[in-house]
Each structure stands twice: as structure tokens, then as C-alpha cells.
Amino acid sequence: MSTTPESTPGSTPSTLRSVGGGGVAGLGAALFGYLVTYLLSSSTIENSTASQVLEAFGSDISTWKVVGWVFMSAHGVTTRFPGLFGTTSSANLIENVEAFSPVLYVVPVVALLAAGALAAVLSGASSPREGALAGVGTTVGYFVFALAGIALFTVSVGDAAISPDPVTSALLAGVAYPAVLGTVGGVAATALR
């Protein structure tokens, strides 16, 4: 009875498949989380006083970019705003704007737990270790989204910019959230099988 490299437990091809599947699930979780955040917050943004003031001054800040700031805030990432005399201030929009529901904090948690579980199921993980490996693979896709979000969600205002904080976007949203929650989802999926 011969075994192929793909069927050997712990082999590189099956590991790459688990991580690759987790990466796709992670990117899907980020896109799903953003979409849910858009559905829950876009009307609040469009009807806000701040949006109307910015429009009056000719600033064209797209709703989808502000939703990006809100989605990143759900991960604990602050948004940086230009201040007076070249200073910069930062704020977590969900925490500091009453109009945004704290329920938005749950969106990335649920999306990443589901992505980790999905990655484990699709990879055929049969042990908690394999489930964890598949789940932690969500970090790959989520990290790509977080890095892209730094650029995509940046808005130029004169000589300054409004954007998600790049360090916490990369480390907190891009690595910590998916690594922990994706792993938990992957382990839970194998434990329940």
C-alpha cells in the first residue's frame, strides 16, 4: 500500500491546501463582514451631519470608504483625522459616534469564526490540530484585505488624509483577529464533527 504525498498526514501539499483554503475563507470573511457593515451603517453615514457638512465644503467622501473606517473600527482600529496646525487625531468610530451600534463589533467575530470552521470542513480536517491549521489560514486572506483597506479607505482632504491607522490595521485587524478567531472556528468545527 503506497501513500501519495497529498494523503500523508502533515505533508506539505495538504498543509498548503489547508492554508490556501483558509486564505480564501479569510478573504471571503472580510468581504462578507464589510458587506454586512455596509448594510448596517451606510444609511447612518449618508444621513449624518458630518456627511452633509463635508459635502457643503466640496469634499467628496464616498460612503463605501467611511463604511471601511467603521468596519476597521469593529476590529479596534482607529481612524486618523487631520487636526489643527498639522496635528493628527484618531478615533474609533463605533466607540465615539453614538449613531453606530456596538453590534458592529460582533460582525468580524462571527465572520471569522465561520470562516475558520468552513476552512476546516473544506480541508477535511479530522483533528483539532488540522482544524487549527486550516483556521489560522484565514489570516492570509484577511491580512490582504486589511492591507488593501489601508489604501482603499484613505481619503485626501487638502494636504492631509483620513485613513485607518496602518499599524493597527495590519497587526490587529490583519493578523490578531483572524489568527485567533479563525483558529477557534477551525478547532470548533473539528471538535463538533
| Domain spans in the chain, listed from the N-terminal domain onward | 25-192
* Phi-psi map region of 3: left, alpha, beta (phi>0 left; psi -120 to 50 alpha): beta
* pLDDT reported for residue 52: 64
pTM listed for this prediction: 0.86
Contact predicate 177/96, CB 8 Å: no
pLDDT for the residue 54: 59
Q: Residues 162, 95: contact at Cβ < 8 Å?
A: no
Q: What is the pLDDT of residue 193?
A: 76
Task: Give me 44's grid cell.
Answer: 447612518
C-beta pairs of 145-149 under 8 Å, 24+ apart in sequence: 145/26, 145/27, 145/30, 145/31, 145/34, 145/174, 146/30, 146/72, 146/170, 146/173, 146/174, 147/174, 149/68, 149/71, 149/72, 149/173
Residue 34 C-alpha cell reads as 464589510
pLDDT of residue 53: 58
The full 3-state SS of 39-91, as one line of letters, equals HHHHHHHHCCHHHHHHHHCCCCCCHHHHHHHHHHHCCCCCEEEECHHHCEEEE
Grid cell at residue 128: 483539532
Q: What is the spatial distance between Cα 73 and Cα 27, in angstroms, rounded to a whole number?
A: 18
pLDDT number for residue 58: 52
pLDDT along the chain (193 residues), means of 10: 45 60 93 98 83 59 91 96 78 91 97 96 92 94 97 86 94 97 96 85
> Given this model, what pLDDT does residue 3 score?
44
pLDDT at 16: 62
